[in-house]
Amino acid sequence: MDLIKFGHACVVLEKDGRRLVVDPGGLTPEDAFAGADAVLITHEHFDHFSGAKLVAALAANPALEVWTNAAVAEVFDGDSARVHVVGEGDSFTANGFDVSVHGQWHATLHADIPRMRNIGFSIDDEVFHPGDALTVPGTPVQVLLLPVHAPWSRISDLIDWVREVKPARTIAIHDGALNATGRAMVTGFLGDTGPAPTGVPYLHPAAGQHLQVA
């Protein structure tokens, strides 16, 4: 299985000629949908979900199906037969990929800001995409997608999360607002030689980079 980073929070997984897209939001180029018959959406924030792009993708590909939580489905004007609502504890197969759902809530932004629903996806028991949360899935994780920069994210929490999940390796995502200096800073903390080591190999790929993950 290969992983392609499509910028910010979106990744595409490929295996056996099939493609699965996770969190194609407003910062994601449209070509992320090319050749894909399955899309997973963790929550409705614009950088993870774009209704306009998803409607266009569904219209362009009659075989495309979407799996997401109830909150996204409520605001998404899509074909209900092709948009599947899932929640924590659910398992399903999407275009040949085995997926399980973990978590319920977005990370806290501030006590004055209501929390929204958020689900994470474990894919083929290899890759875990948490959306905007530091969910511990309770199952083995080979590749943990690490949201390295967000209004709700602290480096100390990320380090502790990686230590708790104990993946084989981490790959940085959620970095669309970081410049080169910011990328270097988070790598300095989360990389193998950081001052508070996680003990887990860390990679911060560029947008468009292909990685073998299984």
pLDDT on residue 132: 98
pLDDT on residue 192: 84
Q: Span 165-176, mean pLDDT?
A: 97
Residue 79: which pLDDT band, with cuts at 50, 70 and 90?
A: confident
Sign of CA dihedral 94, 97, 98, 103: negative
Residue tagged 């607002």 (tokens): 177
Residue tagged 């474990």 (tokens): 122
Name all domains of the chain by residue range, CATH numbers in brackets.
2-212 (3.60.15.10)
The whole model's pTM is what? Answer: 0.97
Give the whole-angstrom CA distance, residue 26 versus residue 32: 12
Residue 174: which pLDDT band, with cuts at 50, 70 and 90?
A: very high
Report the mean per-residue pLDDT for the chain: 95
Residue 76: which pLDDT band, with cuts at 50, 70 and 90?
A: confident
Separation of CA 106 from chain center: 13
Give the model confidence (pLDDT) of 32-56 as tens digits.
Answer: 999 999 999 999 999 999 999 999 9
DSSP label of 8: T
Q: Hey, which residues does 65 pair with through a beta bridge?
A: 38
pLDDT on residue 190: 96
Asked whether the predicted pLDDT for residue 78 surpasses 80, the reply is no
pLDDT on residue 80: 81
Give the model confidence (pLDDT) of 185-208 as tens digits.
Answer: 999 999 988 999 999 999 999 999
Give the whole-angstrom CA distance, residue 173 versus residue 205: 8
Residue tagged 């939580």 (tokens): 69
Percent of the chain exceeding pLDDT 90 equals 93
Give the model confidence (pLDDT) of 87-122 as tens digits.
Answer: 999 999 999 999 999 999 999 999 999 999 999 999
Residue 84: which pLDDT band, with cuts at 50, 70 and 90?
A: very high
